[in-house]
Amino acid sequence: MGHTSALDLNQHRDPLLAILRVVIAQPALRRDQLDSLLRQNPKGRDGIYSRDELITAYRQFAGAELPPFDAAVIERLRRKPVRTSSGVTPVTVLTKPFPCPGECIFCPNDVRMPKSYLSDEPGAQRAEQNSFDPYLQTYTRLLSYHNTGHPTDKIEVIILGGTWSFYPESYQVWFVKRIFDALHDFGQGFDRRAEVEAALRAASQLHPDNNQTAALIDGRRLEQRYNQVVQAVYHDEMRRSREQAEAIARGERPRSPVDEYATWAELEAAHRENESAACRCVGLVIETRPDHISVDEVLRVRRLGCTKVQIGFQSLNDAVLRLNKRGHTVAATRRAVKLLRQAGFKIHAHWMPNLYGSSPEADIEDYRRMFDDPDFRPDELKVYPCSLIESAELMQRYEDSSWRPYSHDELLNVLAACFRLTPEYCRLTRVVRDIPSTDIVAGNQMTNFRQVVENELAKNGQRSPDIRAREVRFRKVESADLHLDELAYDTSCGQEIFLQFITDERDIAGFLRLSLPTEPPITAELAGAAIIREVHVYGQSLEIGESVPGRAQHLGLGRQLIERAAEIARERGYQRLAVISAIGTRAYYRKRGFDDGELYQARAL
């Protein structure tokens, strides 16, 4: 079964062909010109054709009524091209509502969602519509990307929701396995969503037809704690899931596609299939808390195929953490970062200005500490100014006037200072969380605050040095435009070398993170090895094997970065160069001399 559109293409053939012939003939067609063209060739009484309908029609008619297929035409029709401008296609899925080990006073208490998420956030809405099922969430997101003209062969899977490490291991293995099942089915043109949907409707409280949670609680303040309500509301669902998994493990009942059970062997088989699949997982991300990171946890998450961990720092001030009932100390954050770095993971921190007990001046100092102190220095960062949500305990501090949200100017000053303090090796992935303004009781409601900060910096002839502000994205670059820059900095377990191909203006086309550990390895598999923690080449994501002149993704930058990393590691006396490869990049590294190990790939130096 293929991926099809609801539109009858034959019925609309003439106007669609008229539009597409102009798009093909005019490579420099502007957005406003395309909009005018669509109005001139309407869909009858149903308005104008959507981008995904044009893309579906082009795929159907190319090579018949139209010239042979050309990926550049899809690019011109693509909606929101920035989504895949960083070189990969991100697919975000949410875990189900589940008890959380934290009691943070700033955290929303929406029991329809995993802890800290709100039911009207876009990603959360998609999850709820798909019963929080990993297969349905992954498949529908892939289909949406395909229909709007985005590549679907190199996927970064981002698993959000609560504290990943607090969910049962059996659920984790099943959840990841089902994501891979969706990748494989989509890549082969199989669509098993109807089967999954029917099973969920018949058995799961989380199916929208069966979920009565909204009638019980509408997101306002809870008289009981989040965990108490979640355990009460989903008691039967949790018991059913647990009992079915246990019965399947004992061989006492057959398995349905929604039973939360899979074995490690089944997951590893899915990993092997993904190495050469049409939709490959080139990055797998989970989020957790510092106090839930241990050696065993780090290695278990790696076994799942994870390459990056989102971890909530929130603050590097013990007094602030205590006032906000965070439940861990800064020492726990130091330990967690060290363990993750020893294992080669990319570290994606969350940090929150405007927490209860902090101040604009203290926040700027806290941010400075994050990069001055070798124990932290994250690779990526989400900056989430504290938002006041009615269901959060912070409402009490707001009502007794012991906490207030920063004014627009205060927040702007804090974030502008933070942007300037961000080193070139860090990527500011997100600034301000995408919480609907209707959920925010007081404080900043602008989701485009990053742009406000960038405009403020530009007034003074400045810009953020971070990676995201410097990505080449859609620009065409040639090898002659680039030079290799090397930035060394100390970490809690050795030294890090950040290798980057940049232009004279320091715009970045690709980079590699090389860890040179000086302490005993976290696992014997990494003995005597330097570790490549990340290789990333920027520019609009291209299909595997596709080549477009002037695109950074196909200048051979990745290969050059790896060879330079091997040279540095050899000079420093390391016997081997290891890489924390994603499942879908294993074949890429094999071609570059790396052999498979249990959790890593490595090549002798």
Report in angstroms the alpha-carbon separations of 125 from 153, 215, 297, 317, 359: 25, 17, 30, 34, 34
Same domain? 461 vs 483: no
Same domain? 499 vs 557: yes
- Kindly calculate the radius of gyration of the chain based on its CA atoms and give it in whole angstroms: 25
Same domain? 72 vs 186: no
Q: What is the CATH number of the domain that holds 342?
A: 3.20.20.70
The tokens of 450 are what?
A: 């990053």
CA dihedral 454, 457, 462, 465 (to 10 degrees): -50
Average pLDDT over residues 544-573: 79
Residue after which a domain boundary falls, among 470, 494, 526: 470
Residue after which a domain boundary falls, among 420, 436, 470: 470
Strands 89-94 and 154-160: parallel
Identity of the residue numbered 100: C
Strand ranges for 469-545 from DSSP E: 483-491, 494-502, 508-517, 529-537
- Domain membership of residue 362 (yes or no) is yes
Q: pLDDT at position 244, please? A: 85
Q: 344, 514 in Cβ contact below 8 A? A: no
Residue 324 structural domain: 289-470
Same domain? 261 vs 127: yes
pLDDT at 418 over 70: yes
Average pLDDT over residues 404-420: 96
- Sequence-separated (6 or more) residues with CB below 8 Å from residue 394: 105, 106, 356, 386, 388, 403
Q: What is the Cα–Cα distance from 241 to 474, expressed in whole angstroms?
A: 46
**The dihedral sign for the CA sequence 160, 166, 169, 174:** negative
Residue after which a domain boundary falls, among 258, 282, 306: 282
Phi, psi of 246 (to 5 degrees): -65, -40
Mapped onto helix, strand or coil, the DSSP state of residue 506 is coil
Tokens 């002149």 sit on residue: 549
- Sequence-separated (6 or more) residues with CB below 8 Å from residue 572: 516, 530
Average pLDDT over residues 273-286: 97
Same domain? 124 vs 209: yes
Strand ranges for 345-413 from DSSP E: 346-351, 380-383, 388-389
pLDDT tens string 311-335: 999 999 999 999 999 999 999 999 9
Q: pLDDT at position 33, please? A: 84
Mapped onto helix, strand or coil, the DSSP state of residue 202 is helix
Closest CA to 217 of 116, 98, 104, 118: 118
Same domain? 139 vs 254: yes
Tell me how many domains the chain contains. Answer: 4
Strands 595-596 and 601-604: antiparallel
- Domain membership of residue 539 (yes or no) is yes
Same domain? 448 vs 493: no
Same domain? 377 vs 250: no
- Domain membership of residue 162 (yes or no) is no
Q: What is the Cα–Cα distance from 261 to 258, expressed in whole angstroms?
A: 8
pLDDT tens string 21-58: 888 888 877 878 888 888 888 887 778 888 888 888 88
Q: What is the Cα–Cα distance from 485 to 561, expressed in whole angstroms?
A: 11
pTM: 0.89
Q: pLDDT at position 539, please? A: 63
- Domain membership of residue 84 (yes or no) is no
Please classify residue 291 by burial: count the beta carbons closer than 10 Å to its beta carbon, then call 0-12 exposed, 13-18 middle and 19+ buried.
Answer: buried
Q: What is the Cα–Cα distance from 540 to 517, expressed in whole angstroms?
A: 33
Average pLDDT over residues 96-120: 86
pLDDT tens string 448-477: 899 999 999 999 999 999 999 999 876 778
DSSP 541-592: ---TT---TT-GGGTTHHHHHHHHHHHHHHHTT-SEEEE---GGGHHHHHTT
Better-predicted residue by pLDDT, 280 or 75: 280
pLDDT tens string 511-525: 999 999 999 999 999
- Sequence-separated (6 or more) residues with CB below 8 Å from residue 194: none
The whole-angstrom distance between residue 9's C-alpha and the CA centroid of its chain comes to 35
Same domain? 463 vs 496: no
- Domain membership of residue 87 (yes or no) is no
Q: What is the CATH number of the domain that holds 534?
A: 3.40.630.30
Q: DSSP state, 554?
A: G
- Domain membership of residue 82 (yes or no) is no
